Amino acid sequence: MPEELLDATDHEILGLLREDARRTLSDIAGRVTLSTAAVKRRIDRLRETGVITGFTVQVDHAKLGWGIEAFTELRFVGNTKVAEILRTTTRMPEAQAVFTIAGDPDALVWLRVRDMAHLQKTIDEIRRHHQVTGTKTLIALESWSRGS
Q: What is the pLDDT of residues 117-130, one digit of tens each?
A: 999 999 999 999 99
* Residue 129: predicted pLDDT: 92
* One domain for residues 80 and 135: yes
- Helix axis angle, 8-19 to 25-32, nearest 10°: 140
Q: Is residue 108 in some structural domain?
A: yes
Residue 30 within any structural domain of the chain: yes
d(CA 44, CA 42): 5
Range of the domain at 129: 61-140
Could you tell me if residue 125 is inside a domain? Answer: yes
pLDDT at residue number 3: 59
Q: How many domains does the chain have?
A: 2
Give pLDDT tens digits for 19-34. Answer: 899 999 999 999 999 9
> Whole-model pTM?
0.78
Can you tell me the distance from the alpha carbon of 28 to that of 54, in angstroms, rounded to the nearest whole number? 17
Q: CA 31 to CA 25: how far, in whole Å?
A: 10
109 has pLDDT over 90: yes
Burial 46-80 (b: 16+ CB within 10 A, else e): beeeeebeeeeeeeeeeeeebebbbbbbbbbeeeb
